[in-house]
Structure 1
Amino acid sequence: MTSLVQPVRVFIDPVEGTPAAVEARRWVWPLLILALCVSASGTLFSLRWDATPDVIRELQASGEMATISEADLTDKIQTTTRKALVGGIAKGVFVMPMVALLLAAILWVVSWLFDRPAHFEQLMSVAALALLPIALYHAVLTLCIAAQHTLSVARVAQLVPSHLGAFLGTLSPKMARVASTVDFFNLWSTGLLGLGFAAATGMPRGRALLLALVLYVMFAGVLMVGLPGAEMAGGGR
């Protein structure tokens, strides 16, 4: 029972609970919780999602709408819905554990660069615990989706307004991406990452928190701002 209580304590008392969970190398339960919550939100979204408008919009953009038959359109809608269901489950079961493993590997490299060696299992615990706020986000999202009869992709993005862009009104696409990086759950994860890294490596807490923030800024700059912007520019050409 202690193996489950310690990760949960991270939500209540992160300053003391995170180091205790890292020392005990608790990563299995956090990963299971993460996989369950992400799979639940993805699965329920696929069941509530009305794919018809999105599929029609995609076909119109590609110029196929004028030539596709009604039967083929129905098949495409059903296929898209099934893909969303499989993708939602796979994201929780496969993708998120791989994200945690990749994050642990990055932390191992960082600990080596700063001459602060740590056991990999402790760093895996740091990664898994740091992703617990993301699990909480998906748990809240699941409850919000359950209250909807039908959903669109645009609507699901508005159900849990946790980032700065949701409160600033109309923004340019670039500024909207920048504002989306100031996200409550992501910053919470960053704080836990810093506390956990300090516990695993013995690095001073303030320095570890600053390092975690730098890593998040790098991650957000590339994956949340840079790549989406490059894709939009490519589409424009």
Structure 2
Amino acid sequence: MTSLVQPARVFVDPFEGTRAAVEARRWVWPLLILALCVSASGTLYSLRWDAAPDVIRELQATGEMNGLSEADLTDKIQTASRKALVGGIAKGVFVMPLMALLLACVLWVVSWLFDRPSPFERLLSAAALALLPIALYHLIFTVCAAAQHTLTSARALQLVPSHLGVVLQGLSPKMVRVATAVDFFNLWSVVLLGLGFSAATGMSRGRAVLLTVVMYAMYAGVVMIGLPGMGGGR
């Protein structure tokens, strides 16, 4: 029971809870919780998702809609729904644990660069604990999705309004991407990651949190803002 309660302390006592969990190398339960919550949200989304508008819009954009029979259209809609279900479950079972592992590897490299060596299990614990707010987001999304009769992809993006992109209106596509990066759950994870890195390496909390904030800013600048902009957005 301690192995489950200890990681959960990060929600009520992030400073000491994170330190204790990292020192005890608690990473199994956080990863299990993350996988379960993400899989649940993906499953509920696929069950509530009305795939027809998105499939039709995509077919019209590619020109495949012309001459398509009603039976073929129905088949494509059903296929899209099945893919969403499988993809949602796979994201929780495979993608998120791999993300935690990759994040731990990044922390290992950073600890080496700053001459702050630490056992990899502690860094993995810091990474897994930092993703618990993401698990909480998906849990909230699951509850909200369960209360919906149907969901469109646009509605799903606004179901849990946690970033500035939902609040601010009239922004350009580029500024929307910037505002989306300012996400409550992401920033919460960044702070926990800094606290976990501090507990694992002995770096001061303030310096560790500042370091992870800079790392997130670099990640958001490349992955959330830069790359989508290269795809045609301005």
TM-score, length of structure 1 as denominator length: 0.97
Deviations, residues 67-112 of structure 1 (Å, cap 9, x unaligned): 2111111110010000000000000000000000000000000000
What is the aligned partner in structure 2 of residue 191 from structure 1? 191
What is the aligned partner in structure 2 of residue 60 from structure 1? 60
What is the aligned partner in structure 2 of residue 175 from structure 1? 175
| Residue 205 (structure 1) shift | 0.9
Quick check: 1:79 aligned with 2:75? Answer: no
Deviations, residues 16-47 of structure 1 (Å, cap 9, x unaligned): 10000000000000000000000000001000
| Residue 142 (structure 1) shift | 0.3
Question: Helix, strand or coil for the counterpart of 1:232?
Answer: coil
In the TM superposition, structure 1's runs of 4+ consecutive aligned residues that sit over 4 Å from their partners are none
| Residue 121 (structure 1) shift | 0.3
Question: Helix, strand or coil for the counterpart of 2:44?
Answer: helix
What is the aligned partner in structure 1 of residue 207 from structure 2? 207
Quick check: 1:108 aligned with 2:111? Answer: no
Unmatched runs of 5 consecutive residues or more in structure 2: none
Quick check: 1:2 aligned with 2:12? Answer: no
Unmatched runs of 5 consecutive residues or more in structure 1: none
How do 1:1-237 residues align onto structure 2 when only pairs under 5 Å count? 1-233=1-233
| Residue 186 (structure 1) shift | 0.5
In 2, Cα distance between the equivalents of 1:16 and 1:98? 26
Number of positions where the alignment pairs a residue of Structure 1 with one of Structure 2: 234
Query: For residue 115 of structure 1, what is the amino acid of its counterpart?
Result: D
Question: Helix, strand or coil for the counterpart of 2:170?
Answer: coil
| Residue 129 (structure 1) shift | 0.2
In 2, Cα distance between the equivalents of 1:31 and 1:230? 33
Question: Helix, strand or coil for the counterpart of 1:169?
Answer: coil
| Residue 170 (structure 1) shift | 2.0
TM-score, length of structure 2 as denominator length: 0.99
In 1, Cα distance between the equivalents of 2:44 and 2:12? 28
| Residue 232 (structure 1) shift | 2.4
Could you say what the CA RMSD is over the residues aligned between the two structures, in angstroms?
0.9
Question: Helix, strand or coil for the counterpart of 2:64?
Answer: coil
Deviations, residues 160-212 of structure 1 (Å, cap 9, x unaligned): 00011111112111000000111100000000000000000001111101101
Question: Helix, strand or coil for the counterpart of 1:148?
Answer: coil
In 2, Cα distance between the equivalents of 1:53 and 1:20? 48
Query: For residue 163 of structure 1, what is the amino acid of its counterpart?
Result: H
| Residue 231 (structure 1) shift | 1.4
In 1, Cα distance between the equivalents of 2:142 and 2:223? 24
Question: Helix, strand or coil for the counterpart of 2:213?
Answer: helix
Question: Helix, strand or coil for the counterpart of 1:161?
Answer: coil
In 2, Cα distance between the equivalents of 1:6 and 1:64? 53
Query: For residue 228 of structure 2, what is the amino acid of its counterpart?
Result: P
